[in-house]
Amino acid sequence: MGEYLVRLNAVEAYRIWSQHYDRTPNALLALEMRVLSARLGAIDGRRILDAGSGTGRWMAWAEVRGAQVFGIDASHEMILEAARKPGLTGRSAQGRVQALPICDGAADIAICSFTLGYLASIRPAFRELARVARQVIVSDLHPTTALHGWTRSFRAGDTLYEVEHHAHSAAQLDAAARAEGLVAEWVSEPSFGEAERGIFQRAGKESAFEKVRRIPAVVIAAWTKSSD
């Protein structure tokens, strides 16, 4: 029998993906974490919102480094997975990044990781992120990857699930952020490096690594609130 291809929206996809999301090595997440964690620096005592928190990857990283963490995610199943991690029980709530269920200025830093690509319009999300945090950091699949046939997808049994996704360039992200009064700090558009080679090797895809290592894989950008 061949493999079936099913295309789903993000909420339906993560309902299925949540069951093995943390058990599947993911080079994109590893690259993003390597680059962004180096940029974040000391976060002890900082209030960090993970907007689109999923299974709590960034919350777990920040919590062990002394940050006060809380997360918002649209997927009930992913929140349940996050709650199983040490220090994260009761730290997540269900909600949408376009309508965050928290008060103004609740966070020092809002991280929105691999989430905006699931939205056709990103302006409402930036409005909310700017409302609740002094610094906003966003990451997503780099838009040029679509030209090389990359998709947001995963396998479960004999089925390949592709998640509906919208490409947003660094310039588009910055325009939406600036429209909400945010000031650009930095942007990074990294490719896979030697640190991610092992993930490709374990998946039996080292030849693919050589093909994609020079392609910008992720876009990561940070903004702060204007002092005006």
pLDDT in tens, 202-217: 888 888 999 999 999 9
- The answer to whether 43 and 67 are in contact (CB under 8 A) is yes
For the chain, domain boundaries: 4-225
Give the tens place of pLDDT for each residue, 55-113. Answer: 999 999 999 999 999 999 999 999 999 999 999 999 999 999 999 999 999 999 999 99
Provide the H-helix boundaries in the chain.
10-17, 27-40, 57-63, 76-83, 123-132, 170-179, 194-202, 206-212
59 phi/psi in degrees, rounded to 5 = -60, -45
The whole-chain average pLDDT of the chain stands at: 94
Closest CA to 26 of 220, 196, 214: 196
* pLDDT computed for residue 2 by the predictor: 53
214 phi/psi in degrees, rounded to 5 = -100, 0
* pLDDT computed for residue 228 by the predictor: 55
* pLDDT computed for residue 1 by the predictor: 45
Per the listing, tokens 């690594």 go with 209
- Give the span between the Cα atoms of 49 and 165, in whole angstroms: 23
Helix-strand-coil percent breakdown of the chain, rounded to 5? 35, 25, 35
Using alpha carbons only, what angle is made at residue 65 by residues 61 and 66, rounded to the nearest 5 degrees?
120
Structure token digits, residue 153: 């997808």
> The pTM is what?
0.94
Structure token digits, residue 123: 């302006």
- Domain 4-225 falls in which CATH fold? Rossmann fold (3.40.50)
DSSP 14: H
Of 2-11, 22-31, 162-171, the one with minimum mean pLDDT is 2-11
